[in-house]
Structure 1
Amino acid sequence: MTTVGQTSVTCAVCGRESRQRAVRGGGPAGPPDLDLRPGETTRSTMAYWLQQCPTCGYAAPRLDEATPAAAAVVAGGPYRALLAETSYPPLARRFLCRAMILEETGELHAAAEATLQAAWVADDMRKPDLAREWRLTAVALFRQGPAPDLEQQVRIVDILRRAGDFGAAAAQASALERGHLPEPVDRVVAFERKLIAAGDARAYSVASALPPPAARPHASQRGPATGLPLMRPVSGGGLFAVLRRLFRRR
């Protein structure tokens, strides 16, 4: 059972106290999407993954924790401009604020994840242009950081496909296929290949890549702390762990 509560948190950047919502508990989550957006019930808790200070705008999993470098980013002009960008959905802007802090402090892969989460919000808000822009930014951040591992490279295929950049997605898939892909990862890449060839930019769950059952779209585009532990997105150990669990059921 998922419950929502509030707790008082003191911001580590500005020292102001605010009430923050958090959830605890939760039902079982279904298979994630191919880009690792978690299934329900976890995907409906995105509003609780980050806290944001209403005074200075600092965004983090916990407002009571911040490094001096993060505080410097929050005080900077680009961060202040992002906070004032009203054309972005507020929840997406929160993830982008977190992404900016992470990027500026050198955590590029984590910044990519936060940017991708902003794209998920754009999906839900029916803002495809923003979702595409933020997916492409996420890919750039993955590639600017340390060399992406195999799991990240497989996810990049899906992120590019979802952004409608089928040529880049196909090139990424080809690069993967030139190496040895373990089973069932090879099935996921083959499935992505079929979607790319069909010009299909819809969301699919990981389970769709391992038939049976037949592949079906997974509608990620449908509309809509101390004291309480903050709900975090959970991928169950990442894409490969999810694949292994599903593959064992076949």
Structure 2
Amino acid sequence: MSRPTPGPPVGRNGPQPASRAGGSRSADVRCAVCGTESRQSRFRPVPPEGAPDLDLRPGEPLRGTMAAWLQQCPHCGYVAPEIARAHPAVIEAVGTAPFRALIADATHPPLSRRFLAYAYVLEETGALHAAAEATLQAAWAADDARKPELARAWRGEAVALWRAGPPLDTEQTVRVVDALRRSENFEDAGATAEQLAASHPPEAVAGVIALEQRLIALRDSGRHTVASALPPPARRPHATQSNIARRDGAGWWERLRRIFRRK
């Protein structure tokens, strides 16, 4: 298969996390798509100290390290946590016109473009839920760049990808509700939340959904944290909350149990 046509210059990793927020090791990496060797950093996540948002965006200091979560080839633009590996379908996807246009679109925040490019190749390989995760992360980057219209649009795209994939588990459904609410699709958010609440979910899920329903009724599209949905006593994040588009197979209740513990 032919190598993709080189596109415009692309930065490698953007700003690196501060020493308090995580670590990284730099090394020469050969791109699995085009074969170009470049200097890349491999990010090592550390536990957040703050509570995650309702959509599970982690708290600080991990929250502020998004620029280091993905590597990007400076030649072909391929994006992944580790560009030394690629699904066979990725090679063709990176060479398409839509991908080239995506990484060159200056109307989108640079970090959002990186996550959207990753979402694109994931979608082309059929990993729709992972593509939804990356698209949601593009919305987080748009939030930080103060681009609310783009953030709302990408949350809507993330929901579409989640729903187009395999049946959703409880965690994903909660995140769909939050994405719908934050994209101001209150009717769909309310109906989805009501359906989940009627399924008699575990206590932690019920608490989050009850909060979502109150926010939906108020037509509140703002950011809220998981801690807001938990009853007293105050709770703090557990050290193992470091999900960056990687699923560990645990259920929602187990994840919350590991995220929070009583003081």
TM, length-normalised to structure 1: 0.86
Amino acid at match of 1:244: R
Q: Which moved more, 1:15-24 or 1:183-192?
A: 15-24
| Greater RCO, CA 8 A, separation 6+ | 1
Deviations 1:74-99 (A, max 9, x none): 01111111122111111110100010
Deviations 1:157-194 (A, max 9, x none): 11111111111110111111221211121111111111
Partner-residue secondary structure (3-state), 1:184: helix
Deviation at 1:147, TM superposition (A): 1.1
Q: Which moved more, 1:125-134 or 1:79-88?
A: 79-88
**Whole-Å separation in 2 of the counterparts to 1:170 and 1:164:** 11
CA-atom RMSD, angstroms?
A: 2.2
Aligned position for 2:209: 189
Aligned position for 2:225: 205
Aligned position for 2:27: 7
Partner-residue secondary structure (3-state), 2:107: coil
**Whole-Å separation in 2 of the counterparts to 1:168 and 1:203:** 18
Contact conserved, 2:57 with 2:63, CA < 8 A, in 1? yes
Aligned position for 2:150: 130
Contact conserved, 1:49 with 1:232, CA < 8 A, in 2? no
Amino acid at match of 1:163: S
Amino acid at match of 2:104: A
TM, length-normalised to structure 2: 0.82
Change (3 A) 1:238 1:182: closer
**Whole-Å separation in 1 of the counterparts to 2:142 and 2:252:** 22
1:35 paired with 2:55, answer: yes
2:90 maps to which of 59, 67, 70: 70
Deviation at 1:58, TM superposition (A): 0.3
Aligned position for 1:95: 115
Change (3 A) 1:149 1:183: same
**Whole-Å separation in 1 of the counterparts to 2:137 and 2:71:** 14
Contact conserved, 1:36 with 1:238, CA < 8 A, in 2? no
Deviation at 1:4, TM superposition (A): 4.4
**Whole-Å separation in 2 of the counterparts to 1:106 and 1:159:** 21
Amino acid at match of 1:104: E
Change (3 A) 1:68 1:35: same
Segments of structure 1 that go 5 or more residues without pairing to the other structure are 215-230
Deviations 1:181-228 (A, max 9, x none): 1112111111111111111111111111013379xxxxxxxxxxxxxx
Amino acid at match of 2:134: A
**Percent identity, aligned pairs only?**
56
Change (3 A) 1:246 1:208: farther
Segments of structure 2 that go 5 or more residues without pairing to the other structure are 1-19, 235-241
1:244 paired with 2:257, answer: yes
Contact conserved, 2:152 with 2:182, CA < 8 A, in 1? yes
Change (3 A) 1:120 1:189: same
Aligned position for 1:54: 74
1:81-92 equivalences under 5 Å are 81-92=101-112
1:20 maps to which of 34, 40, 45: 40
**Whole-Å separation in 2 of the counterparts to 1:27 and 1:181:** 27
1:78-227 equivalences under 5 Å are 78-212=98-232
Amino acid at match of 2:257: R
